[in-house]
Every structure is written in structure tokens, then in C-alpha cells.
Structure 1
């Protein structure tokens, strides 16, 4: 009789790894693979399933319980909430078998941005390191294989692919796929945990990536993101000390040859300084990405600050002019629209609470963001976070001897200014009125509004009028700084609900009631007579409304 293992997905959020639903991290898939190889019958649950079904005692019936979780770069989550320390205690207090912890939780615990992380108290029999596959293999098989053994990792990836079928959101999932480990730079940013997790830079063989994606595809996954990499453009950089465009061509051609029905192929991190330093080579790689990816893709730029002093003190190795140039390059290549939305855009990460920060830092950031907007460049999104001071980083060491200044009140004011003065006009340019967004999935409902998103990298949150229960196309009718308002597409005036009609600018409650009382309409001329408002009619035509 085979032994039973419970694999609990507590969700991870790291600089180069994401696993909050609908994402499934590489960690849990690798873990499932190693456990299967060892002969365990693996049951997979998310922490949200445990919460919803009150399964805190469920772990008592398993021979081994492995919890994967932890947050290194906290954010606001729509698809689920990462496991917290008390929940981990509660789960393990009921275990009778082996207790294992993996993910950032095995190293430290951070409650929120703007705080110091602290070492997690040990409530397990063993803490697995960042190289989960190798550490778990060594623990279970009592071997001493060195880290970054891609052969073992590849075996784990292929054997663990079928675990995705146990995810509660299957098949509406996206798999985070690993390309490289560590950072290609010789010195690192003061706050970054990536080189602590993985001290050397190494790229995963192209053939291994193709084999894993093909196996995941066979098991029903059609959405992928190359997120488990600190800088996508540095893939295979360690081979010759320069960007390797051939690796990207081999990778993408192989993916589409083996998996022709993929719906999403997206990316995450890219270093703007790397783009400007190797502009010719990176331009070619970006052209390859924009050719083979799917629309709505985002390259996340770790800008962190536009303040030159902050950049220097924290060893970020960038400057504002180069950042803007990198944004220009990505816009030149990926700004074109496919399926109604831009193919590939940059996103910006800003980080506060760093060494050298002053009140002037906020002004510098706002000034350069306004420059980007005035130049007509597009940004998919701007993430503004407070730094977590994490063990073994330069910032951790500095915080013990120096004082980090942070103006919390000014931070709130400045964040709101960016939302209104930058984000709002920017989102209107990225998703103009009437933009059709394909295949959005419901996340949750509040009153008469269903909040939905596409599968993909940093998908925009969309408040859709009325109820949607599965994959739907929507059309944009209004904008918020960080979200959109939409109705189902196409919008049929003769069938649209009151809740949908009132969301459309210029219509409002009275006109919505008037439309409902006077329909059906056989033409827009009839509608025009009832509304008696040319501006209202123009808006309806902009959002592709029909009368059928």
C-alpha cells in the first residue's frame, strides 16, 4: 500500500516566482514530482480550500505533509491569500506524519511591506531550501546531490505536471515556468532576496523547458508565464557573457510546434539597464518575444526609484534616462495591438523605504513618470510598494547600523497623486473606451458587479455589469486608476440588463430605464429619437453597441 502525502499550496510571491491563483508555482509541481517518484500518493489542496472547507484536521491522515508558501514581495491579491504563520501552526499541530515546509516561509516570515522580516519559528521536521526539488529529493532518498542539478529538476517537473488537475480552478490556470536562477549581475541590489536564494546565475536548458511545457500542455494547461527568472533577457547569458537570441528562437519555435493551441504565453521580469547596455541584442530578442507571445503581455521593470542618490546607494545600477530609453524600446516593438490590446508593454515597480530616500525622492519619481506620460509612452501598470527588509541582504545589514527614513504620510499622498495623475490617463490610453477584452474569467461578485480578469501577466481587474459565470468577452465602458468597467460584448441594446446600461457613461439611471421601456429598437435611428442625445448615441457606438 502506497504512502499518502498531502501537498498544501500556501502560495508564494517572490521577486521571480508567483503562485497565487490562478497561478500555480513551479514549487508545488516540482514537489509533486519528487513525492510521486518516491512512491507517495499525492493529494493537493490550496490554503483557500482548507479555509473554505474547514479542513484544518485533514492533515492527520497523511504520512507526510508538505506546505509550500511565503511572501517576499507582498502585494494585494485577488485570486487568493497566502498562508499566514498561525494557519501553518494550526495545520502542523494536527499532523501525525512527517512535516515539511518549503518556499520563503522556510527561511523567514514577513507580514507586510515596510517591515523587517523575521526568522520563522520551526514547526516542522525539516525546512526545504529554495532549490525545493533537490532538497526534497536529498531528504527523501538520503542522497547528497548538489543544488541546480537540472536533470533531477527536470524529472520532477515532468512527473509533477499532472498535479495541476487537482487545482480548484483547473483548467482556468496559468503555470509559472522556470527559465533561470539568480541574477546575472556580479553585485546586487541592496534589498533583493534572489541572489540570497540562488547565489550563482544559471539558465535551465531549453530542451528541459520544452519538455515540461509539453507535459503540462498534455495535462490540460494552455496558459504559461516565464516568471521564474530575474531577467528574462539574460536567459543563457552565462554562456558567452552576452544576450543569446538563438535560445529564444529555439524556445518559442519549440513551444508552438509542440503546443499549437496555447492561449497565453507571457513573461515577467526584465532589467531596463540590461536592455540599454545590450540594446542591439535585446532589441532582437524583444522582437522575437513580440512575435511569439500572446497579447496583453507585460515586462516588469525593477525601476525601484528615479532618485539618482537612491539608485546609487542601493546598487540598483540604473539611471532615469536609461529607464526611459528602455521603456521607449519596448514600446517601439510591442505597442501594436493584437486582439484589441497591446501585444507587449513594460510595467514599472517602485520601491520605498530604501537607503538614501528623502522627501525629494517622491518628487523625482512623479517628475519622471510625468515625462513618460508626456512622451506618449505606454505603461501597463505601476506597482508602488514598501520594502521588506530581509535577512542576509545589504539592506538588512545597513538597517542594523543606519537609520532608514520613511515618510508614511507623504507616501500615501504621493501614491494617490500617481494613481490620479499618471495611472488614470495611462489606463485610458492602454484600454481606450470601446476596447474589446477577450476571455475574462470571474473572480468574485459584489452586488450587481462581477469582477473578472484574463489569464496572464498582471491582468487588469475588470468590473463587469451583471453576472458572468464563465469565460466571456467584454467591452470597456469606463476607467479607474487601476481597473476597468465593462459590459459583456457585444452589447445588445435590446437585451442588455439595467445593471449593464447604467454603467455606460452618459446613460445613467433615467436613460437606462427609458431604453428598457421603449425597446425593442430596430435601428439606431429609433434609439436616437428616444434618447434625444447625440453625445449619448456616440458613446454607445464607441462601445460597439448593437440593436438586434
Structure 2
């Protein structure tokens, strides 16, 4: 039997997360394709290759596939995406296998890739293997490839991206967006295909899912409903997922278009209520707001008005900020912003800050605020524009307002979303710094928690403090004798002397009682 190795160098696209703990669709679909071609398939990640110094360890395989592609880079905690130098290093040291490079990296680095050493640059691995890219084939490879997740070094503490749709429902795209470059037109994936894949992953041991790979989850099935929100299909989707994965621990989503919400009101309320009913706590609907400056929005063909965005944020708050018994809202908006777009001026930053401050004053909750500099993706309208005129970006202005937002807006929002005493379940240690363990739960854009104790396995924590984009937590359900002094002193109102007294004289009650739990 022929053998193949897949090295996951990770992807991060507008509608796909693939850096651990996320597992994107790419390695699973590719594995399924190879399984159907009678290959014995193995899977690893670039972090494992680095850790074990395995650069020249893949000559025994017949096929070597590397997945790579970061089009919306961010700050990564669970892993570090592969570099072009590392791709070249692996290919140069493993010349016996047939070497394939695939992923969105091909969209951004064609000229750089000339000397990378691959035998094939593959835009779409499924089409490459089957000479087709229809959902019938994709359905089969998705189910077949589900078992590959067991090879992931973090298994079972992973969250699988589930493809819901391809492309953007808009006809006229934003000037900077790579989604229409990657996927022409909008198409919803058949419901049965989604549910069957989740069932296969669930049986393989996966308990966390993210309905990603979608520019707008609320547009799912709109083609069957005259371009309007398809409440019945969205309900059937969530209900069916819960039926085949009854003991799942995480069911989250990501992108939604605020203008689509405003245009489909009040019918869209049913879809939002369905998500809130069937999802798990801490879910986020990420809105690609990009700018609150009306001129910048019009100049870059960004969908919707500022008033429509305001309306969508308020509606999601009204329906989604209901809290579970752990104290966490079920569904909140997340806002993405891009800086450096044509038409941007100092006033654009001022408008943004004023708007976010108004949300605070109106007690509107925002789960996260993502600030990033524009990336010019080849073949987008912005790319053609940049060929004619240099895109200006004021780094000083960006740093100033980023500081204000992080230290004035973010920290206050986080306090309101995660009040003192909130329980966050199953946080997973990511790294240690001194006496602190930094950990995160699985989910869409999970909150980072600093714990003043050594944590080597996942467990529940209680919120006791805040940073601009993080929390301070202590281990839940531990006895006084088990708590560190640093944990006790992290509890609001408890200093060193009080902590020493508690340690020496308090009964073996739970630390939770100190927070009124």
C-alpha cells in the first residue's frame, strides 16, 4: 500500500481558523481524498516537526503534502504557522516522496514559491485528485478524513472547523477581501453533509465544533429562500447537530454580516434564537465592520451603513446576552476592524473610538475587538489600486488608538462579559510564565486566562481579575489547603495577611465560597 504524510503548516483565512487548537478542513479533506485513493495516511503538525527536529524524517513516504496559508495573520498561542523557509527545508531534505504544497499560501506567494522544491502547487487538493470540486465528492472525503484527527498532537483537546458554505453572499465585494478570490460565488453546503461529517468526527472523539468556513453563517440556505434568511434550514442544521452529537462540549460559530441582519429583520430573529438555543456558552458572531467612517466604507465597498451595524449589534445583544448558570453570555457580537484602507484619516480613528465608547455607555456588550492592519491580497481591487497609488498607513496613529481601545474599552467590556466569580469550564494550559499558567477554553476566539498556580491539565476556573484582553482566574472547587498564596491574594479584597490567616485557620471549605459561590 502506498503511504502519505500530511504536514499541517496551518491556515488562517477570513472564514477558516486552522492554528491549534483549531483543525481546519484542509488536512481532513486531504486525508479523506488520500484514503479513497488507497493510501495509508499519517498526519502531523509543523510544531511537532520543530519540536522533534523531524526535518528529514519523511523520505519513507510516497507522497508528502504540506498545507500552508495565512491571509489574516494574528497573534497565535496554540501554534506557529509554517514559514516559506521551513517549507523549503522540508522539501529539500525529503526528495524521495512526491511533494505537494497546497493552501492559500499559493494565492499570496507565487513568485517566492518558484524555488521552494515542490513537485506540484495544488490550488484545490480535491479537484487535483478527482478532477472535480463538487459537494458530492467533498461529502465523501470529509467523512473519510474524519479519523485523521486522532493523530493531532493535542487530540482530543481540539476544535474542528466545519464548512458551512463557500464564498460571500454579496455580488459586489469589499475591495480588500480574499474570499471571492478563493471561492467564486456563494453556495451553501448540503445539510446532510455537514451533519454526517460532525457525526463522524464525534465518533472519532471530537467534542468541540465551530461552524466556520463561512463568510456569513446567517446566510446559510438563502439560495433556497429567494436570497433571504432561511430560518427553517438553520433550525434543522442546529437541531440535527445536537441529535448526532448529544454530548458535545462546544458548538460555536464565527462570521456574520451585520447588514444582512438589518436587511432581514424581523425574520432573522428566529435564526438568532435558534443559535442561542442550541449553541454553547461564550459564542461569538464576528462582524467585519472594518471601519465606522462612512466615507471609508463607501470608498472600499463595505456592505451596510453604520446605522445597520448599530442595529445588528443591539439585536444580537438583546437575544444573545442571556447568561448560563456559569455566568457567561450565550452569544455576543465580535467586531473586526482594518486600518490603512483608502480614504482613512485621523477622523476615522476618532469615529471608531467614539462609537466604541458609546457602546459602553449604552451597556452594549462586545465580546472581542480585533484591530489589524490591512493586507493587500493579490488580484483584489485593493491590489490593483496599490499598483497605481501607494497605500498610506499611519503607524503612530494606529498604535495610539490601539492603546486607547485596549486599555479603556477592552478591559471594561471584558469586566462586563465575565464578572467576578464567573466560572469558565475546561480551560486548557497553553504555556507557563514564572508562577503563572496561561490557559484557554475551546471555542471561537477563546479568552486567555492567567492562573497563579501550575496547571498541567484542563479544569474549571473562577474569574477574579482582568487584563486588557485576558482574565485572572483561580482554580475552581479546590480546598483552602490546595490553593496557593498567589491564588488567594488574587481574590478581590484579600491581601497577604488575610491570605495567611485563611491558610492557617480557615476550615477546609471550598475557595469558591470566598467569591460568594
Query: Which TM-score tier does this pair reach, normalised by the shorter chain?
Result: over 0.9
2: CA distance between counterparts of 1:268 and 1:461?
Answer: 18
Aligned to 1:132: 125
1:191 aligns with 2:184: no
CA distance in 2, matches of 1:356, 1:265: 39
1:301-360, Cα deviation, whole Å (9 max, x unpaired): 000010111100110022222111101000111100013200000100011111111111
- Once residues 177 and 509 of structure 2 are traced to their aligned partners in structure 1, the CA distance between those partners, rounded to angstroms, is 60
Q: Secondary structure at the match of 1:209?
A: helix
Question: What's the CA shift string for 1:180-230, capped at 9, x where partnerless?
Answer: 001110000011000000011111000110110001111001110011101
Distance 1:25 1:362 in 2: 34
User: Which residue number corresponds to residue 167 of structure 1?
Assistant: 152
Of 186, 200, 207, 1:215 maps to 200
Structure 1 residues 157 and 522, CA gap change in structure 2 (3 angstroms): closer
**How far does the alpha carbon of each residue in 1:474-504 deviate from its partner, in whole angstroms, 9 at most, with x for none?**
1001001100000001353343111312322
Query: Match for residue 85 of structure 2?
Result: 86
Alignment partner of 1:515 out of 502, 507, 517 = 502
Q: Is the 8 A contact 2:27 2:67 kept in 1?
A: yes
Segments of structure 1 that go 5 or more residues without pairing to the other structure are 110-116, 139-143, 525-538
The RMSD of aligned alpha carbons is: 1.7
Q: CA–CA distance in 2 between the matches of 1:418 and 1:34?
A: 45
Q: Distance in 2 between matches of 1:48 and 1:508?
A: 41
Tell me how far apart the structure 1 counterparts of residues 512 and 142 of structure 2 sit (CA, whole Å).
49
Distance 1:509 1:196, change over 3 A: same
Distance, in Å, in 2 between the alignment partners of 1:467 and 1:166 is 27
Structure-1 residue corresponding to 2:359? 372
Query: Are 1:227 and 1:268, in contact at CA under 8 Å, matched by a contact in 2?
Result: yes
Q: Show the counterpart of 1:343.
A: 330
How far apart are residue 507 of structure 1 and its match? 2.5
Cα shift readout 1:40-98 (whole Å, capped 9, x = no counterpart): 11110100000000000012221110001110000001100100111001011022111
* Map 1:31-42 → 2, pairs under 5 A: 31-42=30-41
- In the alignment of these two chains, the number of paired residues is 513
CA contact (8 A) 1:491 1:544 kept: no
Matched, 1:303 2:275: no
1:533 corresponds to which residue?
A: none
Q: Secondary structure in 2 aligned to 1:87? A: helix
| TM-superposition CA deviations, 1:354-374 (whole Å, max 9, x none) | 111111111011011111111
CA contact (8 A) 1:433 1:542 kept: no
Aligned counterpart, 1:227: 212
Q: 1:255 aligns with which of 241, 252, 257?
A: 241
Q: SS in structure 2 opposite 1:58?
A: coil
Q: 260, 263, 278: which is aligned to 1:277? A: 263
- Where does the alignment leave 5 or more consecutive residues of structure 2 unmatched? none
How far apart, CA to CA, are the structure 1 residues paired with 2:319 and 2:479? 36
**More off after superposition, 485-494 vs 179-188:** 485-494
Q: Contact (CA 8 Å) 1:324, 1:372: kept in 2 or not?
A: no
Instruction: Output aligned runs, 1:128-527, within 5 Å.
Output: 128-129=122-123, 131-135=124-128, 137-138=129-130, 144-145=131-132, 147=133, 149-239=134-224, 240-338=226-324, 339-490=326-477, 492-516=479-503, 518-521=504-507
Contact kept in structure 2, 1:449 and 1:466, CA below 8 Å: yes
Deviation for aligned residue 1:4 = 1.3
Using the size of structure 2 for normalisation, the TM-score is 0.96
> Could you tell me whether the CA contact under 8 Å between 1:450 and 1:468 is conserved in 2?
yes
Aligned counterparts of 2:411 and 2:481: Cα–Cα separation in 1: 32
Report the Cα offset of residue 106 of structure 1. 2.3
Query: 1:119/1:205 Cα in 2 relative to 1: closer, same or farther (>3 Å)?
Result: farther
TM-score if structure 1 supplies the norm length?
0.91
C-alpha distance in structure 2 between counterparts of 1:337 and 1:431, whole Å: 10
> Hey, what's the Cα distance between the residues in 2 that align with 1:19 and 1:293?
21
SS in 2 for 1:160: helix
